[in-house]
Structure 1
Amino acid sequence: MFRRPALAAAALLAAGALALAGCTADTSTTPTSTGTPDPNAEITVGLVLEPTNLDIRHTSGAALEQVLIDNVYQGLVTRTQDNEIVTALASDYTISDDGLTYTFTLNSGVTFHHGEELTVDDVIDSFTAAKDDETINGHAVFAGVDSIAADGDDTVVITLAAPDQNFLFNLTGPAGLVFSSGDKTDFQTDANGTGPFTLVNWTQGDSIELARYDDYWGTAAGVASVVLQYIPDFTAGVNAALDGTLDVLTAVDPTLAPQLEQSGAFTLTTGKTTDKATLAFNNQKAPLDDARVREALRLAVDHQALVETVGAGTTMYGPIPELDPGYEDLSDTAPYDPAKAKELLAEAGVENLELTLTIPSFYGTTIPTVLVSAYNEIGVTLTVESVEFATWLQDVYTNHDYDLSYVLHVEPRDFGNFANPDYYFGYDNAQVQSLYAQAMATVDPDESASLLAEAARIVADDDAADWLYTGQTITAVEAGIAGFPQDSINSRLNLADVTVSSE
Structure 2
Amino acid sequence: MPSWAWIIAAIAAVAIVVGGVFAYQRNNSGSDAAAASDSIAIGLTLAPTNLDIRNEAGTALDQALIGNVYEGLVARNSENTVIPALAKSWTVSSDAKTYTFELNADEHFSNGDALDSKDVVWSLDSVIKNEYQDYQVLANVDSIAADGANTVVLKLKKPDATLLWNLTGRAGLVFDEDASYDAKTQAIGSGPYLLKSFKQNESLTLTANTKYWGSHQAKTKTVVLRYITDTNAAINALKGNSIQVLAPITENLSASIAKDSNYVVKAGNDTDKFVLAFNGKGSKTSDKRVREAIRYAIDNKALISSRGGADAALGGPIPSLDPGYEDLTNLYPYDQSKAKKLLAEAGYSTSNPLKLNFEYANIYGTDLGNQLRSQLKAVGIDLNVKVVEFSAWLQDVYTNKNYDLSLVDHNESHDFYNWANPEYYFNYDNKQVQELYAKAVASTSDAEYESYLKKAARLVSEDAPADWLFNYRVTTAYRKGVTGFPLNLNQSLLPLWNVQYKA
> How does the TM-score come out when normalised to structure 2?
0.86
Bigger relative contact order, structure 1 or 2, given CA contacts below 8 A and separation 6+?
1
Letter in 2 for 1:240: A
Deviation at 1:297, TM superposition (A): 2.0
Task: State the distance in 1 between where 2:173 and 2:134 align.
Answer: 9
Q: What's the CA shift string for 1:202-261, capped at 9, x where partnerless?
A: 322222222222322224211122221222233332222112221001112111212112
Q: Which has more helix, going by share of residues?
A: 2
SS at match of 1:189: coil
Residue 20 of structure 2 is matched in structure 1 by none
Residue 456 of structure 2 is matched in structure 1 by 455
Matches within 5 A, 1:56-455: 56-133=53-130, 135-181=131-177, 185-218=181-214, 219-310=216-307, 311-348=309-346, 352-389=353-390, 392-393=393-394, 396-455=397-456
Letter in 2 for 1:405: S
Task: State the distance in 2 between where 1:409 and 1:460 align.
Answer: 16
CA 1:40/1:309 → structure 2, altered by over 3 Å: closer, same or farther?
Answer: closer
Letter in 1 for 2:197: N
Task: State the distance in 2 between where 1:190 and 1:385 align.
Answer: 41
Aligned length: 468
SS at match of 1:330: coil
Deviation at 1:57, TM superposition (A): 1.9
Task: State the distance in 1 between where 2:36 and 2:356 align.
Answer: 55
Superposition RMSD in Å: 2.5
Q: Judge conservation of contact 2:48–2:201 (CA < 8 Å) in 1.
A: no
> How does the TM-score come out when normalised to structure 1?
0.86
Deviation at 1:301, TM superposition (A): 0.5
CA 1:389/1:175 → structure 2, altered by over 3 Å: closer, same or farther?
Answer: farther
Deviation at 1:497, TM superposition (A): 0.7
Task: State the distance in 1 between where 2:265 and 2:355 align.
Answer: 42
Q: Judge conservation of contact 2:366–2:387 (CA < 8 Å) in 1.
A: no
CA 1:37/1:59 → structure 2, altered by over 3 Å: closer, same or farther?
Answer: farther
Letter in 2 for 1:302: D
- Structure 1 or 2, whichever has the larger Rg, is 2
Deviation at 1:481, TM superposition (A): 1.7
Task: State the distance in 2 between where 1:230 and 1:132 align.
Answer: 34
- Name the stretch that deviates more: 332-341 or 253-262: 332-341
Identity of aligned residues (%): 45
Deviation at 1:147, TM superposition (A): 1.1
Deviation at 1:385, TM superposition (A): 3.7
1:485 matched to 2:483? The reply is no
Unaligned runs of at least 5 residues, structure 1? 1-33
CA 1:291/1:440 → structure 2, altered by over 3 Å: closer, same or farther?
Answer: same
Unaligned runs of at least 5 residues, structure 2? 1-30
Deviation at 1:92, TM superposition (A): 1.9
- Name the stretch that deviates more: 61-70 or 387-396: 387-396
Q: Judge conservation of contact 1:39–1:224 (CA < 8 Å) in 2.
A: no
CA 1:204/1:394 → structure 2, altered by over 3 Å: closer, same or farther?
Answer: farther
Task: State the distance in 1 between where 2:485 and 2:118 align.
Answer: 34
SS at match of 2:330: helix
Deviation at 1:396, TM superposition (A): 4.0
Task: State the distance in 1 between where 2:228 and 2:457 align.
Answer: 36
Residue 18 of structure 1 is matched in structure 2 by none
Deviation at 1:168, TM superposition (A): 0.7
Q: Judge conservation of contact 2:310–2:475 (CA < 8 Å) in 1.
A: no
